[in-house]
Chains A and B, each alone.
Chain A
Amino acid sequence: MNGAISKDRGRRWVPPLAGALTVVLLAATIEIVLDGAVGHSPLIPKSPQIAGWLTGIGERLGFRVFLIALLAYAGAYGGILLLARRISSRFAIALTVALQLIVFAGPILLSTDVFSYIAYARMGIVHGINPYIHGPTSIVGDPVYHYVGKDWKTVATAYGPLYTLISYPLALLGVTGALWGMKLMALLAGAGTLVLTWRCARLREIDRRFALIAVGVNPLWVIYGLGGAHNDLIMTLLMMVAVSLTLARHEAYAGATVVGAALVKATGIVLLPFMLLGARREIPDGPAAAVQRRQPPPAMLDVPPARLRSRAASGIHWPTTPIPPSISRRTLSRRRLAPLIGAAAAALACALAAYLAFGIHGVDVIAALNRDAAFVSTDSFPTEIAHLLGKPGVFPIDHDLLKAGLVLIVLHLMWRTWRGYDWVAASGWTLLAISVTSTWLLAWYTLWSLPLAAVSRDRRLLVATLVVQALFIVHQTAPLLAPVS
């Protein structure tokens, strides 16, 4: 009784606390967007004036204001995530939508990548130049050229042919039109990812509000991913479509969609081996649903319903539903092969389309990946560990060691998936391992595993993803501690 009263007292704090955290989230986002709209900031890439109607309200965005806003946002995100199971679905959705729209209305934040996307599209459509052979320097006279990041002016595209073909129509809209097109594409892809995260969470017996807030309110998702209109959001959308399709038992389409994700960004292919090993177990009519119907599946009869509910709520170690005896061995075998068949068919069709559009260079994604794998960024964890060990940076031998470590991790996860581990979690772990072992780490790479982590049955994945993101944010804070004038 006393416990119930104290619980009620505790819950009375939830609405005002959630409200205060929401105010912080909205205020930090609005501050960054309004100050960013002024331009002339090292944090805002040189860009056509797309958010001119917002100028005059804020001031030039400096490192100090940005980092304080980012840290405040991150803290409020942590708080709202802890409260996620106590707030209403309507509140969670409204907050998520508001944050996405605020960022959509503002300027491009923190990255010049979107101008590379537009440059590659204009190279192909306006100038008839193959973006898989040449870099933006081949269109020096084009209006978008001046906005491309200086490190990327000579670099041919590393993005998949599907993404390049999707971006081509936007080239016809001019630079400003294409920029809005890219922003809209990122917004819709992000929204689609969030809708599917919600749906997959429901089907996998995970709290939908928690999953939605974990992804849709995430600081790196909102400010870096959507703020920079990154095509990683399209890859995450296709990954979540694939997860959703396996839950609907459309394994062949799911396999094809994974190939689609990989043809946007090559890392998307990570899902395929785990899907092949584990997706056959996905049966949406899950145990908790059986509990609600008071018709537990036969294999669950010896587990108390209360324990079933608590396991479903925690999302940890949930034993998947056993295959009903009515499914024959032949059906099972077909179902296991379905993702492979779908993936092979999609890969064949897309390879043909890519070859016709871009020649052999459009198909050779491996060469682009190998080139990018050699890059080194100061934010990467291998670089930080090298500094910790007293080395000036990473060396070629380090690249080899990291690749070997990644292979071991993938093999371990494949073995675990073969022996019954959640394939969605295994895919997420692999994507997280890729971003952690990569010597070229950017904020939006830490988003790859996030939607999978939110719908995974292993909560450790979400914790690990958020820890990696938190460390990334902490690594940005040096200018706050010792500003350079």
Chain B
Amino acid sequence: MQKRSMIRAAVLAAVAPWFLLGSAHAEKILKIGVNGVMSGEAASWGLVNKYCAETTADMYNAKGGVDIGGQKYKIEVVALDDKNDPKVSVTNAEKLTSQGIKYIIGPNIDTTALAVKPVVERAHALNFPYAFAKELYKAPANASVLGMVASYQVGPIIYEYLKNKKGVKSIAFLARNESDAKNQQAEGVAAARKLGLKVVADSDSYEPGTKDFMPVMTKIIRDKPDHIVLSGVAPADAPLLNKAARDLGFKGSISTETGQDSKILAQVAGDKARGFISVGGASTPEIQSDYMKAFIAAYKKRVGEWNDEAGTKVYALELILAVLKQNPAAVNNTEAFKKTMATFSMSNPFVKGGKTRLEFTGKADFGRRSQVGVPLVVNEFTGKDFKTLFVGTIKN
């Protein structure tokens, strides 16, 4: 009897792992790609995308996965660094799509986003770039969804606010010498002129990698603007530019149309960045929901510290999952996803109150809804943290 029991136990022990393996195989995996710059000076742009996607995945996976059409999917994020190099970005896109990945977050700039467009289209995938080139989102293009608010959408709103509320009459533009930033500068200049502001500097730029901004800022300040716009400025440059302007005695206001991080501003520029206006998403405590607070806690657990840039980047994967939940056919079919996009609407889980809607937007700028409807939150730096200056809406 004892011998028989021992044989049974041995057989059970031998067979059990195969059963366990079988059940593990039965678990479905939803792979999400992230393709963006994760090294070099602009690393924070792509890394924050990656960390946000991984944090969202952590939160869902901790509850057993995301429920799509009655089936639980574990989320797996596959992140690749494109080094802001179009060739690498194309290779990454090919790698991701060859794995059957249908939804890719990124890339971060126009040149890389435009380079991967044919790859994404050919693979019938959908990507969510953080680049503003309109040809990515306007027909006939049909494989990209803008992941955040574009500079040409938020710029005019900020300039109008400054003109009406702060009495700004003249404005100067300074851009990072890259195609994205120069495009943003040109669009900003046109918007400012349309509003009747006097543009005293419209083409000044600095080389990426510049650390001493006194020379470039000296010229801007001699033009005596009431306000300086930093076009396409990287989070690493923003505090140094603010510091240089204040060190040179500039008394006016400064803004940018990209997301920034308060800790970086506080550490590098401190009080000299006080009043600096930038774009947020759901970063400031005044508008955060409990879900956003939980997201921040999960992000800190994964990464070690919070980055305010993430306030504009929490949305992409959450929205992808929400659409897939509503239309399970879209898991492997981006055409089904696009059909749902046109009418999709949900309560924004990251903003408190439950009244803010999260949907796809962009009809006014791109002729169709090909943009994640991130709330247009304009922040002001207090010397230590951001406070929400106002919340606007993108025309749809």
Are both chains from one complex? no
- B contact set with A: CB distance below 8 Å: none
